[in-house]
Amino acid sequence: MAIKDRKERDKLDRRKLIIESATRLFLELGYEKTSIRTIADDIEYSPATIYLYFKEKDEIFYIIHEQGFVLLNNEFAKHVHIENPFERLTAIGHSYLNFALDNPDYYDLMFIMRAPLQEISCLEKWDAGDSAFQVLVDTVSEGIDQRLLKEADKFMVALTVWSYAHGLVSLYIRERFQSMKKVDDQVLKNMLGQSMDFFLKSIQH
């Protein structure tokens, strides 16, 4: 049965090949311009072959979507050692902001686009996303328990913090701040950081 094993390994290798090509092309060209034919050209297979390894285009992008959450969770993990929950929340907030500014395409796929979401609601899996949100809920909970944050329903506060952070970066990424483009990009980016601090200070007890 060694042959069958090798074949299964080969199959996984080709699956991996597709994912790696798709990820690279996606970060290079964006979602829209990364077509099945582009990926097929890149890995030198026919477009139909890709459908032997993935049910549909969005299944590939769901995987890239998950990879993004791994990166984000890694950033969050750097702050688990911070004892003070408010300081930890501050660090997480700025990490979230920086992640979005440094990886706008990943962020788009993870939090803005509709594309890879059918996958999630069908397959009931959303672990990586839940994990990142759980870090937020835990930190907020600790903060409230230690009276470092204003008293309120913990889940609701976490939802408020996430909403604020998401709004800030998604308006930036989707260029809704660009309209008042009297301000140049670096000034605007600095203001995003100031806004983050203002927000966190506001919910501080």
Partner DNA sequence: TTTGCATACTAAACACTGTTTAGTATATTT
Partner DNA sequence: AAATATACTAAACAGTGTTTAGTATGCAAA
Give the nearest distance from C-beta 205 to a copy of itself in angstroms: 10
Closest separation in Å from C-beta 32 to DNA = 8
CB 51 within 8 A of CB 67: no
Q: Does 118 bind DNA (CB under 7 A)?
A: no
Q: Which amino acid is at 180?
A: M
Options 21-29, 79-87, 138-146, 154-162: segment touching a copy of itself (CB under 8 A)? 154-162
What's phi and psi for 180, nearest 5 deg? Answer: -85, 70
Adjacent-strand bridge partners of 204: 149
Q: Which does 11 bind (CB under 5 to 8 A by kind): DNA, a copy of itself, none?
A: DNA
Instruction: With H, G, I as helix, E, B as strand and everything else as coil, classify residue 149.
Output: strand
Please state the φ and ψ torsions of residue 175, each to the nearest 5 degrees: 60, 35
CB of 39 to DNA, least distance (A): 8
For the chain, count helices (H), then strands (E): 10, 0
How far, in Å, CA of 107 to CA of 70, rounded?
Answer: 12
Judged by CB under 7 A, the residue of 18, 26, 57, 144 near DNA is 57
Interacting residues with a copy of itself (CB under 8 A) = 111-114, 117, 120-121, 126, 129-130, 133, 150, 152-153, 155-157, 159-160, 162-168, 170-171, 174-180, 191, 194-195, 198-199, 201-203
